[in-house]
Structure 1
Amino acid sequence: MRLILVRHPSPQVTSGTCYGRSDVVVAPHEMAAVRASLQASLPAHVPVYASPLRRCADLARVLAQDLPASTLIYDKRLAEMDFGSWEMRPWHAIARQNIDAWAANMAHYRPGGGENVLAMAARVEAFLHDLLREQHETVVIICHAGTIRLLSALQAGLPLEETALLAATSAHKIAYGATVVVDF
């Protein structure tokens, strides 16, 4: 199965803000630019899956119409990590000791009391397991950088904790509106 993973457009959030699970919006011009860039490159008549967070759901809805998609399914397991009390706070306002504690225990530390990377990896793995049972040839998934890194890391077939660490420590090089293709 080929997964075409699409990162959402740039949200309306001040640079340097932690906004994992927060449901932030995308400016109309950003949405239009990403939509236009993806229209010609994505296959038609394939299922489209998306995080229910607006920055993904809104893009998925317009792309599903453009393609047209065979189905459009929102799945909460594709949402970005929940950073708890860190959500919508500037990264520089979060105590350095807390960021260091997270860096020292990437898989298990719960930033801001929210979700840890291992828990996120478990829900993304459960989504992937269910998806693979459906035996589609190709699907489009509109989601977040963290979700894309986890889906890419799951391709290696490592134990879940190693997968979580691989995703958490991989360099973040996924641009807004970019696509990553992963074959399973």
Structure 2
Amino acid sequence: MATLLLVRHGRSTANTSGLLAGRSPGVALDAEGAAQAAALPARLAGLPLAAVVSSPLQRCGETLAPLLRERPELRAATEERISECDYGEWSGRPLAELTGEPLMTTVQQHPSAAAFPGGESMRAMQQRSVDAAREWDASVEREHGPEAAFLMCSHGDIIKSIVADALGMHFDLFQRIAVAPCSVTAIRYTEHRPFLLRLGETGELGSLVAGPASASDTETGERGVAPVGGGA
């Protein structure tokens, strides 16, 4: 039962200017995002990471840069399947302008039916990102054992999609999930079910470290069995 840590990139220039960045080039972290990235190594200091995986977009690379400098033994593998949604013709446009588009109502209320002009459907976005998360999780566990933890740095809609799948939620409900810039979400996949251990955590993460009374026992139950009564 490896532990997946999903890190949303730090706050970007597109976030603060109200643009839908998508896969537009040149979208960097703003000053606040850079500070969030600089604080990430300390937040993750107690976690022995077996692998680091990143979206290919600039803002994710900048988010991971301080962590990789602090821990030079780690290298970030690039994973295209956790890149931002391809918003097609919507990419780079102001969100205030897009609010008036009929498609925005579908995106908000019925995302499983939403497909962006010149881009991809939201269902396709979820499928590729969930496949990537589960395949990396299985690979890390095979190579490093069930107590391993690994990190994926990605984007808000990608992380929400993976969380919705882990919770068994219909994709049309995924807009109920919120993950802040540079927050950490933790998921543990087990034989029986995934467990959501943290959602949008912006504080310390030391309690996720496996030990004699590990999180796999106290939070997800032995061998993935949910503890009756809520557990200790």
Deviation larger for 55-64 or 114-123: 55-64
Which has the larger Rg?
2
Distance (Å, rounded) in 1 between the aligned partners of 2:11 and 2:88: 21
Q: Does 1:144 align with 2:152?
A: no
Q: Do 1:45 and 1:67's aligned partners in 2 also have CA atoms closer than 8 Å? A: no
1:166 to 167, 173, 179: 173
**1:61 counterpart = 2:65:** yes
Q: Deviations over 1:125-144 (max 9, x none)?
A: 22023212211410011111
Quote the offset at 1:182 in angstroms: 1.6
Q: Separation in 1 of the partners of 2:117 and 2:106?
A: 11
Q: Which amino acid aligns with 2:149?
A: T
> Deviation per CA, 1:59-106, whole angstroms, max 9, x where unpaired?
223312313454321111111111111111112323432322444531
Q: State the distance in 1 between where 2:22 and 2:176 align.
A: 17
The one-letter code sitting in structure 2 at the alignment partner of 1:51 is: S
Name the counterpart of 2:28: 25
Q: Secondary structure at the match of 2:96?
A: helix
User: What is the Cα deviation at residue 157 of structure 1?
Assistant: 4.6
Aligned length: 177
What residue identity is the alignment partner of 1:26?
Answer: L
One-letter identity of the residue aligned with 2:52: V
The residue type paired with residue 3 of structure 2 is R
Q: Match of 1:180?
A: 185
Contact 1:9 1:177 in 2 (8 A): yes
Does the CA-based 8 Å contact 1:61-1:72 persist in structure 2?
no
Report the Cα offset of residue 145 of structure 1.
0.9
Using CA pairs below 8 Å that are at least 6 residues apart, which structure has the higher relative contact order? 1
Deviations along 1:15-73, whole A, 9 cap, x unmatched?
A: 3321222231123x335412332111212443111101000022223312313454321
Contact conserved, 1:49 with 1:60, CA < 8 A, in 2?
no
Q: Which of 85, 91, 94 is the equivalent residue of 2:95?
A: 91
Deviating beyond 6 angstroms after TM superposition, the runs of 4 or more aligned structure 1 residues are none
Please give the TM-score of this superposition, normalised by the length of structure 2. Answer: 0.68
Alpha-carbon distance between aligned partners in 2 of 1:18 and 1:96, rounded to the nearest angstrom: 14
Q: Contact (CA 8 Å) 1:7, 1:179: kept in 2 or not?
A: yes
Moved more, 117-126 or 146-155: 146-155
- Native 8 Å contact 2:8 2:181 kept in 1: yes
TM-score, normalization: structure 1? 0.83
Q: Which runs of 5 or more structure 2 residues have no equivalent in the other structure?
A: 190-232
The whole-number CA distance in structure 1 between the counterparts of 2:73 and 2:112 is 35
Q: Take 1:83 and 1:56, find their aligned partners in 2: how far apart are those partners?
A: 18
SS at match of 2:17: coil
Change (3 A) 1:22 1:142: same
Aligned to 1:120: 125
Query: Which of 37, 40, 54 matches 1:38?
Result: 40
